[in-house]
Structure 1
């Protein structure tokens, strides 16, 4: 049994780190080409577009994604069809709602953000949105069965199509525009669905059954996770939206570059969160809160062991990294990057807090914390951007992260007796443990 557990963590961890690492590298390559193909203003508009459509995806997926993984991974196989039918019903309804919202508010939002190019881009994205809903369902089913290979390859394919197109444009000197990039996204999501289906079809024995009981259960579980996801993504995009509205899309683009480099540091955070959630959902039922306490402290410690050296490296070579990736026209991003790196330390604590609290059924707590944190970010951004300009957005996010970290640790102490300092102890022990246990002896996590 211990060998099975160990194999799950090693294999799942490797696959998810590969997924996040390769995905981030492809995004970095896309970014590298885009800043050379697009003007500073158009790059800022593209960044705002991606953030906005991500919010639409979260609105649709946030209500069912965690619920589908949690309930399917912890239930008998005979109930899987009812669970899948319920999530399909909810997801389909939300897809229609989001498309209507897109059609109604696209013009207003594009004017508010001083980016008229956004309106036709938003309208065309509705096609991508329909297909991405199918892809999300497939990915969740695979994760609920503790498999991740299809998620890895379908995700890579979706990013690689756009990346390949951009490199062809750069190499042959072909001019492109923002609308063309959205058309390429349509092709990319279709390729991704085909790959995902090949991996997930064996897990689906499906006949649609309308179950009010399961729809109700999933909705009531997912409603706080949904609101948390929306609030969380809003808190991560408010700064760039406000920069575009208060200053210009170009200012938002400069800030976006610092955020993208910081996202490299989130690779282990996202990978560990993906494999911890289904395991924590299972362990709370079988081993109790003590196991969840250990899972939180150890997973955060493991992430910190990888994150801290990366932060130090980027600090040491910040100017060179910006110049290599974005060129001299984005030299003003260096001081912004140095501030964004500071709040990367708090990311692992916050992300795993949401994973653990959701897995023990206290999604309402996560929801409240994220809502409060979003209000703090909104308020701080308004005042600090007006006072300090672009770098004010970085200060606002740093202060909000410190605030959110403090509140979440108090809650974790009350619920699970978690001690944040233990995470740093596990981080210190990570490398000798990894060599001695995982490589030589293959001990359990």
Structure 2
């Protein structure tokens, strides 16, 4: 790939992924702003939060085993093997879908009883329909990503989130009474539309057969089992605080903490976008250019991400009170101190997210898995004792402390395997602004022509 092609790939892919993440956070935040005003009580919003965080775990159980493996092997394998890889991936995903639906049907009543929210039972049962649609969407998006295409990934996610937002907006304007079950029905519609769109985008790359691909199933499974454990442990680490707040206090406390988490997602847009682009590039470079290129890729990516996120982080930190009042209303004032602490965690996000991305792409999935499990276990333990001691603020303190320890250990590991220098990330962050100006702004600014004499 020549320099011009590389610049084009990074510019186009970066733009689409940042646009995707921005639209996702925008629609998610906008829907949240309206939802806290449309739902009749803080308790119902808390129940909705518990439903969403739980279904994310279900998605990861199904997708985590094959998602990273599918992208990596298609990115690094010859084209004639793609059909076999996709067939093996679809087989694994299909079996896991059946198992997850069975577990959902069995465990939904128990979970609803634990959180004292019986309405969760029909909500979880209906989610099984969504689960079927999202399984195909995820497979299609991974196949596109592995082929260095992101148009369909953006379009399907945009459509799904936009339809849900429009429904909430109409309910807000018309003052139509919204029920939690009705929201799940709307999500079924959104997922169905996204699956249909995903098919048309992935069709040129969707080659499969009906032969049992034992060899590729084993390869995908053995690579993906640690990426699967990493994804589950990481997501559990991010949602345990909300689950434990609901169990030890109430769904209301969980909802208040979720508001702080949602707002910090605004700052996380560049991290998610760049991690999506870096993974297939890193998988290719380790085969052709060696570890030195991966070291540069990590340092440069983290520095760029930090440069993109710090301005937004400063604005949110300075105007925390105003942001909470505008987005959630005065009744959620208890989220203000929570947000101030969770914003500090954002400074560590680029290092942690890209640490896992880089190690997975070079085949160190076992190490990533071990690291994330240890961090999640620490987070769980700290949450239990800190929530008992400080209530909702304890969850924020536990998350900050466990992430700080995880950040320190991750940098030691990267130094050992790739000789990563953390100070280089600050240099690249500083250099980003003039570099961006010279490459993408200055050349498009043309001086005005002098007036003819």
**DSSP-derived class of the 1:264 partner:** coil
The answer to whether residue 281 in structure 2 is matched with residue 279 in structure 1 is: yes
CA distance in 2, matches of 1:113, 1:353: 34
Cross-structure match for 1:389: 391
1:153-191 C-alpha deviation (Å, 9 max, x unpaired): 110100111111111111111001000111111100111
* CA displacement at 1:424 relative to structure 2: 1.1
CA distance in 2, matches of 1:163, 1:377: 33
Cross-structure match for 2:361: 359
Which one of 26, 46, 49 corresponds to residue 47 of structure 1? 49
User: Are the aligned partners of 2:86 and 2:206 in contact in 1 as well (CA < 8 Å)?
Assistant: no
Cross-structure match for 2:16: 15
**Structure 1 residue ranges (4+ consecutive) displaced by more than 6 angstroms after TM superposition:** none
Cross-structure match for 2:202: 200
* CA displacement at 1:439 relative to structure 2: 4.3
User: Are the aligned partners of 1:82 and 1:208 in contact in 2 as well (CA < 8 Å)?
Assistant: no
Cross-structure match for 2:296: 294
Which one of 70, 76, 79 corresponds to residue 81 of structure 2? 79
1:56-96 C-alpha deviation (Å, 9 max, x unpaired): 00000000001111111111111111000100010001001
Cross-structure match for 1:27: 28
Specify whether residues 183 and 172 from structure 1 end up closer, same or farther in structure 2 by C-alpha distance, changes over 3 A only: same
* CA displacement at 1:432 relative to structure 2: 0.3
- Give TM-score, length-normalised by structure 1: 0.98
Which one of 155, 167, 188 corresponds to residue 190 of structure 2? 188
* CA displacement at 1:310 relative to structure 2: 1.2
* CA displacement at 1:205 relative to structure 2: 3.0
* CA displacement at 1:208 relative to structure 2: 2.7
Cross-structure match for 1:254: 256
Cross-structure match for 1:374: 376
Alignment of 1:95-106 (within 5 A): 95-106=97-108
* CA displacement at 1:114 relative to structure 2: 2.3
CA distance in 1, matches of 2:442, 2:281: 24
User: Are the aligned partners of 2:278 and 2:357 in contact in 1 as well (CA < 8 Å)?
Assistant: yes
The answer to whether residue 419 in structure 2 is matched with residue 417 in structure 1 is: yes
CA distance in 2, matches of 1:433, 1:339: 32
CA distance in 1, matches of 2:375, 2:119: 31
CA distance in 2, matches of 1:439, 1:143: 28
Cross-structure match for 1:120: 122
Cross-structure match for 2:152: 150
Cross-structure match for 2:7: 6
* CA displacement at 1:209 relative to structure 2: 2.4
CA distance in 1, matches of 2:312, 2:423: 20
User: Once structures 1 and 2 are overlaid, which stretch shifts more, 70-79 or 248-257?
Assistant: 70-79
Cross-structure match for 2:449: none
User: Are the aligned partners of 1:55 and 1:230 in contact in 2 as well (CA < 8 Å)?
Assistant: yes
**DSSP-derived class of the 2:407 partner:** helix
CA distance in 1, matches of 2:295, 2:12: 23
Cross-structure match for 1:172: 174
User: Are the aligned partners of 2:38 and 2:175 in contact in 1 as well (CA < 8 Å)?
Assistant: no
Cross-structure match for 2:307: 305
Q: CA RMSD in A?
A: 1.0
CA distance in 2, matches of 1:299, 1:250: 38
* CA displacement at 1:441 relative to structure 2: 7.0
CA distance in 2, matches of 1:434, 1:140: 29
* CA displacement at 1:398 relative to structure 2: 0.2
User: Are the aligned partners of 2:64 and 2:227 in contact in 1 as well (CA < 8 Å)?
Assistant: yes
CA distance in 2, matches of 1:133, 1:122: 16
Cross-structure match for 2:216: 214
CA distance in 2, matches of 1:115, 1:352: 37
Cross-structure match for 1:343: 345
CA distance in 1, matches of 2:245, 2:116: 11
Cross-structure match for 1:315: 317
User: Are the aligned partners of 2:83 and 2:209 in contact in 1 as well (CA < 8 Å)?
Assistant: yes
CA distance in 2, matches of 1:122, 1:4: 46
User: Once structures 1 and 2 are overlaid, which stretch shifts more, 173-182 or 190-199?
Assistant: 190-199
The answer to whether residue 93 in structure 2 is matched with residue 64 in structure 1 is: no
Structure 1: segments with no counterpart, 5+ residues = none
User: Are the aligned partners of 2:86 and 2:207 in contact in 1 as well (CA < 8 Å)?
Assistant: no
* CA displacement at 1:255 relative to structure 2: 0.3
User: Are the aligned partners of 1:114 and 1:244 in contact in 2 as well (CA < 8 Å)?
Assistant: no
CA distance in 1, matches of 2:207, 2:260: 45
* CA displacement at 1:196 relative to structure 2: 1.5
Cross-structure match for 2:132: 130
CA distance in 2, matches of 1:17, 1:432: 20
User: Are the aligned partners of 1:21 and 1:267 in contact in 2 as well (CA < 8 Å)?
Assistant: yes
The answer to whether residue 266 in structure 2 is matched with residue 264 in structure 1 is: yes
User: Are the aligned partners of 2:137 and 2:198 in contact in 1 as well (CA < 8 Å)?
Assistant: yes
User: Are the aligned partners of 1:13 and 1:275 in contact in 2 as well (CA < 8 Å)?
Assistant: yes
**DSSP-derived class of the 1:176 partner:** coil
* CA displacement at 1:147 relative to structure 2: 0.4
User: Are the aligned partners of 1:102 and 1:122 in contact in 2 as well (CA < 8 Å)?
Assistant: yes
